Structure 1
Amino acid sequence: MRALRILLITAVVLGGLFVAADRVAVGLAEDEVAKKVRSSQGLKADPKVSIEGFPFLTQVATKELEEVRVDLGGMTASAEGHALRVTEMTANLYDVRIGGNFSTATAASATGAASIGYSDLSKAADEGIMISYGGESDSGKPQVKVTANISLPGLPAFNGSVLSTVSIVDGDTLRLQADDIPAEGIPGVEERVREKVDRDWKISGLPKGLEFDTVTVTKSGIDVTVKGNQVALAG
């Protein structure tokens, strides 16, 4: 009986040591992945990385992680010559194959979400343009309001607001397009105003293999879901 008790105690102690070692190892790996992501994506700070699944050490042995969650926080993307700040960017990556000392990491699939505030959209627009929430259309669809103060050489100035729709083009571009521009029948006004108001923001800086999926207009900004296959997390 005493031998059995000693065996059980030994098993518990060894099990505890294994769990402790496993948690230390996963913490070190998360730090290493964060550094690699920061370097590959050109971030100003290390992102928050969480490696899911237990035990971690057996995942390392097979060089495949079940799930990795990455919180990139605020990041800045290049958009048509303007810097567009993405307020939040998170990604869940599945079946992540690692190479070397985490020098490369590629996910078989990934999902995520990003948020962009109206103030950041306004900063990324042309001078004299302010973007805000425009309420709901008659059909109940949320819209964006674009307020513009535009001088038009040879034409009457445009000072007013238009309601616009936001859509996704080619998986990497946010398109803002006015539903209607009151031009009062003056030739050339609508075209010139659209040159300033309508905008395609092609976002660079997303991890390779990740693209925009859906977009939703909210009172605080624009929420975008992302998805992808063979997503390069590092390397």
Structure 2
Amino acid sequence: MRALRILLITAVILGGLFAIADRLAVSFAESEVAAKVRSSQGLTGEPEVSINGFPFLTQVASSELDDVEVRLGGVKASAGGHSVEVTEVAAELSGVRLDGFSSAVADRATGSARISYEDLGKSAPKGATVSYAGAERAAKGQVKVTGPAVELLEGAGVTIPRVAKVVLEGRTIETYSTVSISGGDTVRLRAADLPELPVPGLSGTLRETVDYDLKIDGLPSTIKLDKVAADAIGLRFSGVGTNVSLAG
């Protein structure tokens, strides 16, 4: 009985030591992968990396991690020379194949991110405000775009004749733009319909002014965005990728 007790105590101690060693190893690995992701993606800040699953050491021994979560900062969207921050950028990767810590490639990854209405407004055409369109229109993937007609047109570099300017002065444009994804990395806003301006030739120019694209920079190139949704906070988009390089 005494020998059995000693054996059990020894097993518990060794198990505890293994668990401690395992947690220290995963902490080191997360730091190494974070540094690699920052370097390979050209990020301004260190990403948060969580390697899930226990024990970690047996995963390393098999050169494959079951599940890795990465939260990125420093991702930007750009439109018309304006750059705005993309927030809540995250990727969940499965089947991550290791080559030491010099490189890591995931069989599959799902990515998601968000842009607030405030930041959408910063990237919008000069004079335009982008806001929540209400639950019914948001369910259709639409946002509300408003702005003074004169300011929108002149912000786009359009010269408005004095007479036409008098006619348009005080007129506010209000439309609902449908949001979609193009090319896996570009968010497109296209006005569903626009009011006719009481000045010949300016209605088409107004549409060219209001419609615009945002290109997302900083996501792994193998993650392609394919879904976008509007809610009370802003736009949330997501996508999937295969053979996604996590480091190196």
Q: Same fold (TM over 0.5)?
A: yes
Secondary structure at the aligned position of 1:27 is classed as helix
Distance 1:205 1:75, change over 3 A: closer
Residues 73 and 90 in structure 1, CA contact (< 8 A), matched pair in contact too:
no
TM alignment of 1:47-196, pairs within 5 A:
47-73=47-73, 75-79=75-79, 81-100=81-100, 102-137=101-136, 141=140, 143-148=142-147, 149-150=151-152, 151=154, 152-154=158-160, 156=164, 157=168, 159-184=172-197, 186-196=199-209
Residues 89 and 115 in structure 1, CA contact (< 8 A), matched pair in contact too:
yes
Whole-Å separation in 2 of the counterparts to 1:125 and 1:78:
10
Code of the aligned partner of 1:180: D
TM alignment of 1:27-38, pairs within 5 A:
27-38=27-38
Secondary structure at the aligned position of 2:7 is classed as helix
Offset at residue 136 of structure 1 (A):
4.4
Where in structure 2 are there 5+ consecutive unaligned residues?
none
Distance 1:195 1:108, change over 3 A: same
Which deviations, in whole Å up to 9, do the C-alpha atoms of 1:68-101 show, x marking residues without a partner?
001114632444533131021011000111223x
Which protein is richer in helix relative to its size? Answer: 2
1:221 aligns with 2:220: no
Code of the aligned partner of 1:60: V
Which deviations, in whole Å up to 9, do the C-alpha atoms of 1:1-59 show, x marking residues without a partner?
11111111111111110011000000111111111111122222211110011111111
Secondary structure at the aligned position of 2:133 is classed as strand
Code of the aligned partner of 2:112: A
Code of the aligned partner of 2:179: V
Offset at residue 198 of structure 1 (A):
0.3
| Structure 2 residue aligned with 1:9 | 9
- After superposition, the CA RMSD in angstroms is 2.0
Code of the aligned partner of 2:94: Y
Distance 1:93 1:138, change over 3 A: closer
Where in structure 1 are there 5+ consecutive unaligned residues?
none
Secondary structure at the aligned position of 1:15 is classed as helix
Whole-Å separation in 2 of the counterparts to 1:140 and 1:214:
13
Offset at residue 153 of structure 1 (A):
1.6
Whole-Å separation in 1 of the counterparts to 2:138 and 2:211:
22
| Structure 1 residue aligned with 2:44 | 44
Offset at residue 202 of structure 1 (A):
2.4
Greater mean deviation of Cα atoms: 154-163 or 198-207: 154-163
Residues 178 and 191 in structure 2, CA contact (< 8 A), matched pair in contact too:
yes
Residues 78 and 205 in structure 1, CA contact (< 8 A), matched pair in contact too:
no
Secondary structure at the aligned position of 1:111 is classed as strand
Identity of aligned residues (%): 53
Code of the aligned partner of 1:29: A
Distance 1:52 1:137, change over 3 A: closer
Distance 1:226 1:162, change over 3 A: same
TM-score by length of 2: 0.87
Secondary structure at the aligned position of 1:49 is classed as strand
Aligned residues: 234
Code of the aligned partner of 1:59: Q
Whole-Å separation in 2 of the counterparts to 1:34 and 1:54:
20
